[in-house]
Chains A and B, each alone.
Chain A
Amino acid sequence: MEVKIKSMKYEDFKDNEYIENLVEQLRAGGTNIIVGKLDQLMNWGVSNSLWPLCFGTSCCAIEFMCLGAARYDMARYGFEVARNSPRQADYIMCQGTINYRMAPALKRLYEQMAEPKYVIACGSCTVSGGPFKNSYCVVKGVNEIIPVDVYLPGCPPRPEAFFYALMQLQRKIKVQKYFGGVNRKEKLEGLKYDGKVLQEEAK
Chain B
Amino acid sequence: MADIQEKITQLCLQAQVDTTGEFPMVTVDDAQWHDLARALKEQLHYDVLSAVVGMDWTEALGCVYYLTNTSTHELLHVKVATADRENPRLHSVVDLWPVANFQEREVYDFFGIVFIGHPDMRRMFLRTDWVGYPLRKDYDPASNPLRLDDETNEDYTCRWVEDEQGNVKKIDGKVFEDDEYVVNVGPQHPSTHGVMRYRASLDGEIVKKIDVVSGYIHRGIEKLCENLTYPQMLLYTERMDYMAAHINRHCMCMCVEKALGLEVPRRAELIRLMMDELMRLSSHLLSYGCLTMDQGATTAFFYGFRERELIYDIFDRTCGARMSMSYSTIGGVVADVHEDFIKDVRHACDVIEKNLAEYHKLFTGNVIAVNRMTGVGILTKQEAIAYDITGPSGRASGWHCDVRKTNPYSLYNEFDFDEVTYEHGDSMDRYMVRMREMEQCIKILRQACDKLEAEGIQGEYCAAKVPKVMKLPAGHWYQQVEASRGAFGVYIESDGGTKPVRVHFQSPCYNLIGVVDLTCKDNMIADLITITASLDFVIPDIDR
A–B direct touch in complex (beta carbons closer than 8 A) = yes
Q: 7 A-B Cβ contacts within 8 A?
A: A58-B540, A63-B322, A99-B215, A135-B223, A136-B134, A139-B146, A198-B146
Bitwise interface map of A from 46 to 66 toward B, beta carbon under 8 Å scored 1, else 0 = 000000001111110111011
Stretch at the interface among A17-25, A103-111, A182-190: A103-111
What 1/0 flags go to B305-319 for Cβ under 8 Å of A?
Answer: 110110010000000
**Contact: B148 with A104, CB < 8 Å?**
yes
Closest A residue, CB atoms, query B135: A136
Closest A-chain residue to B143, C-beta based?
A136
The answer to whether B224 has its CB under 8 Å from any CB of chain A is: yes
Q: Please give, as numbers and ranges, the residues of chain A lying within 8 Å of B148 by CB-CB distance.
A: 103-104, 107, 145, 193-195, 198
Bound state CA distance, A202 and B190, in angstroms? Answer: 34
Interface assignment of A71: CB less than 8 Å from any CB of chain B: yes
CB-contact partner of B217 in A84, A97, A107, A108, under 8 A:
A97
Partner of A104, one of B149, B312, B324: B149
Q: Which residues from chain B contact A199 at a C-beta distance below 8 Å?
A: 147, 149
State the Cβ distance, B38 to closest chain A Cβ, in Å. Answer: 36
A189 to chain B, nearest CB (A): 16
Q: Is the C-beta of A101 less than 8 angstroms from some C-beta in chain B?
A: yes
Q: Provided the pairs A61-B194, A198-B147 are in contact, do residues A155 and B324 lie with their beta carbons within 8 angstroms?
A: yes
The chain B residue with its CB closest to the CB of A102 is B216
Whether, in the assembled complex, B525 has its beta carbon less than 8 Å from a beta carbon of chain A, the answer is no
Q: Which of B189, B215, B302, B305 has the most CB of A within 10 A?
A: B305
Any chain B CB within 8 A of the CB of A134? Answer: yes
Known: A70-B302, A100-B147, A138-B220. A58 touches B134 (CB 8 A): no
Given A57-B539, A97-B219, A137-B144, CB of A63 within 8 Å of CB of B323 = yes
Interface residue from A62, A63, A103 paired with B146 (Cβ < 8 Å): A103
B195 and A66 contacting across the interface, CB-CB below 8 Å: no
* Interface residue? B127 (CB, 8 A): yes
A144 is an interface residue with CB less than 8 A from chain B: yes
> In the complex the two chains form, what is the Cα distance from A61 to B188 in whole Å?
13
Per-residue CB proximity of A127-140 to B under 8 Å, as 1/0? 00001101111110
Segment of B81-89, B234-242, B354-362 engaged in the interface with chain A: B234-242
B539, A58: Cβ atoms closer than 8 Å:
yes
Report if A15 contacts B (CB, 8 A): no
Interface size on A, residues (CB 8 A): 48
In whole Å, how far is A58's beta carbon from the nearest beta carbon of chain B? Answer: 5
A132 touches B224 (CB 8 A): yes
B149–A99 touching, CB < 8 Å: no
Question: Which residues of A are at the interface with B, using a C-beta cutoff of 8 A?
Answer: 54-59, 61-63, 65-66, 69-71, 84, 86, 96-97, 99-105, 107-109, 131-132, 134-139, 144-145, 155-156, 158, 193-195, 198-199, 201-202
Q: Are B151 and A101 in contact (CB under 8 A)?
A: yes
- The secondary-structure label for the interface of chain B is loop
Q: Is there an interface contact between B144 and A99, defined as CB atoms closer than 8 Å? A: no
Is B467 part of the binding interface, using a Cβ–Cβ cutoff of 8 Å? no
Q: How far is the CA of A158 from the CA of B195 in the complex (A)?
A: 22
State whether the Cβ of B145 lies closer than 8 Å to any Cβ in chain A. Answer: yes
A contact residues around B242 at 8 Å (CB): 58-59, 62
Nearest 9 interchain pairs by C-beta: A69-B305, A59-B242, A195-B148, A135-B220, A84-B190, A132-B219, A58-B540, A102-B216, A136-B141
CB distance from B81 to the nearest CB of A (A): 24
Q: Kindly state the separation between the CA atoms of A56 and B309 in the bound complex, as whole angstroms.
A: 20
Nearest CB of chain B from residue A123's CB, rounded to whole Å: 10
Instruction: Give A171 to B149 CA distance when docked, in angstroms.
Output: 34
Known interface pairs A69-B306, A108-B150, A131-B239; A62-B286 also in contact (CB < 8 Å): yes
Also in contact, A70 and B305, with CB within 8 A (given A105-B187, A131-B235): yes
Number of interface residues of B (CB under 8 A): 49
Inter-chain contacts of B195 with A (CB < 8 A): 57, 102, 105
Interface centre among B188, B289, B322 (most CB of A within 10 A): B188
B539 adjacent to A101 (CB under 8 Å): no
B253 contacts partner chain A, Cβ-Cβ < 8 Å: no
- B window 225-250: CB within 8 A of A: 227, 235-236, 239, 242-243
Cβ-defined contact, A138 with B145, below 8 A? no
The answer to whether B218 has its CB under 8 Å from any CB of chain A is yes
Chain A min CB distance to B106 (Å)? 14
User: Given that A156-B324, A195-B149 are contacting pairs, would A102 and B306 also be in contact in the complex, using a CB cutoff of 8 Å?
Assistant: no
Q: Are A138 and B323 neighbours in the complex by a CB distance under 8 Å?
A: no
Would you call B57 an interface residue if the criterion is a C-beta within 8 Å of the partner chain's C-beta atoms?
A: no
Q: Is the CB of A99 within 8 A of B217?
A: yes
Q: Are A137 and B217 in contact (CB under 8 A)?
A: no
B67 to chain A, nearest CB (A): 31
Q: Establish whether residues B194 and A137, one from each chain, have CB atoms under 8 Å apart when the complex forms.
A: no
- The answer to whether A59 touches B312 (Cβ under 8 A) is no
For the complex formed, measure the closest distance between the CB of A177 and the CB atoms of chain B, giving whole angstroms: 29
In chain A, what residue has the closest Cβ to B223?
Answer: A136
- Chain A residues with CB below 8 A from B540, complex form: 57-59, 96-97
- How many Å lie between the Cα of A155 and that of B326 in the bound state? 11
Q: Is B126 an interface residue (CB 8 A)?
A: yes
Q: What's the Cα separation between A155 and B324 when bound, in Å? A: 7
- Decide: A56 and B323 in contact? CB cutoff 8 A: no
Q: Roughly how many angstroms separate A103 CA and B216 CA in the complex, as a whole number?
A: 9
Chain B residues lying within 8 Å of A202, measured Cβ to Cβ, are 145, 147
A97 cross-chain contacts in B, Cβ below 8 A:
217, 219, 540
Please report the C-alpha to C-alpha distance between residue A61 and residue B215 in the assembled complex, in whole angstroms: 17
Chain B, range 293-336, C-beta contacts under 8 Å to A: 301-302, 305-306, 308-309, 312, 322-324
